[in-house]
Chains A and B, each alone.
Chain A
Amino acid sequence: MDLLVHLENAGVSLGGKPILRHVDFDLQPGQVAGVTGPNGSGKTTLIRMLTTLLRVSEGAGSILGADVNSDQVFAVRPSIGMIGHNPALIDELTLRENLVHVVRLAGLAEERVDPVLEVVGLDEASDRRADASSFGMRRRIEVAHLLLTRPRLLLLDEATSGLDNSARELIDALMDRTIGDGGGVVMVSHDHQRLDESCDEVMALSSGRLERAR
């Protein structure tokens, strides 16, 4: 079975400073990996490296079959989905318009927007501008977008922080769907209980190094 992610001795430096060092990491299809660590340990950098948006400074490996040291990564980016710290919505557009924008850029049919808004519970609230919507509502739009684009590799960086239970359950459902499709999930969180409940393995980042925690 091809690994979704395979990293050998990977490292990332930013501004000349090493942030991640000697990272060995494999992610199987259907696997949920958790990452924890103190503030400033490089968790977000790890996530961004896995998106291929941050290129490795050293080491080797592949993400969704693309060599991390080559331009092959551009081709696999549409198969990677991320929920980061801040929702990537355009403030001046409504929630629905933001989703339509994403759907169009992804080359998907606009007809799929309204059904997915209903699934995430925003069908009556989607005409609000993004800057007039709560954090939770903006998160739900991100989930809606990922439900439509069906990424094979799902990366969650503190995705459930500040969310109510129903929004958290929605993200759980997104994770389950990704796993069910044969994809994989990497989840960064400070919530150890959540990591224990959701993840097949949990790793800890410390001083830029990734070590298995359990």
Chain B
Amino acid sequence: MSFWNQTLEIARVDLRVERRLGDTLRIVLPFAVVALMVFPLSLGIELATISRIGPAVFWALGILFGMQVALRQSAADTQERRDLHALLGVDPAARFVGRVLSGGVLMLAFLVVLFIAMVLIYGPTLPSGYWPTVLLGTVLFSIGLTELGTLAGEITAGLRNRTALASLIVAPLALPLVIGASQSLEALSRGTGILPWVLLMLATDLALAVIGVGMARPLEEATR
């Protein structure tokens, strides 16, 4: 089977499993919305502050809860299944790309719904024409975070406390994505260009893609 066929098959099965389990939309997303509500309650109820911090809280929660979305596949991956893929001759790079594809779709849906919830709950003042910038930022953010989560899942495969460990690996490395996404919206508000921030996220995504594809085979062999 060709590389892309393997990629699409892995993504297809991942999404089918998610549709049956429903963890992302039925558990992680509601949890993230509850977390959206916790911030203002702990800060007090000054409306101006709440409105201002809305987008920042969104991106921060996007990282924290997005990690759970990104790591859920590797958390469910057993050694037997990894062995089976290896014995079927599945290219580890195809596994990586397939996981990023399916995880990216879920992450994007998750973030879009979370953003809408943030707008409703925080009532932020957003610059006019913000949707394309937010969408672009969300797409690049989703791709990068999923790449990081997939890589971290592979690095920690088979280890005790792998979910917590993988989260610890992902969180700091995802900072360029948070900065790029949040600052692009700020730049739009200020009327300055969003290009530097978009390029930052794009560079992060590309670097992670190259590392993920290039290191897929060594990682697979190292985690036996």
Contact = CB atoms under 8 A, between A and B. Distances in A.
A93 B13 contact: yes
| Contact count band on A | 20 to 34
A90 B74 CA distance: 13
Interface stretch (B16-24, B28-36, B111-119, B140-148): B16-24
A106 B1 contact: yes
Nearest to A98: B13
A88 B81 contact: yes
Contacts of B52: none
Interface string A117-139: 00000000000000000000000
A86 B80 contact: yes
Q: Which of A86, A90, A102, A105 has most chain B Cβ within 10 Å?
A: A105
B78 A86 contact: yes
Contact of B224 (A53, A78, A97, A105): A53
Interface string A91-109: 0110001000110111100
Given A101-B9, A107-B1, A93 B16 contact: yes
Interface in A20-60: 48, 51, 53-55
A59 to B, nearest CB: 17
Interface residues of B, number: 24
B163 interface: no
Contacts of B90: 105
B77 to A, nearest CB: 10
A185 to B, nearest CB: 16
A51 B80 contact: no
A84 interface: yes
A88 B81 CA distance: 5
A84 B80 contact: yes
B46 interface: no
Contacts of A78: 87-89
A105 B221 contact: no
Interface string A76-87: 011011101011
21 contacts: A48-B83, A48-B224, A51-B87, A53-B83, A53-B87, A53-B224, A74-B89, A77-B86, A77-B89, A78-B87, A78-B88, A82-B83, A88-B78, A88-B80, A90-B81, A101-B13, A104-B5, A105-B6, A105-B85, A105-B88, A105-B90
Given A87-B80, A90-B81, A92-B20, 18 more contacts: A48-B83, A51-B87, A53-B83, A53-B86, A53-B87, A53-B224, A80-B87, A88-B81, A88-B84, A90-B13, A90-B17, A92-B16, A92-B21, A101-B9, A102-B88, A104-B5, A104-B9, A107-B5
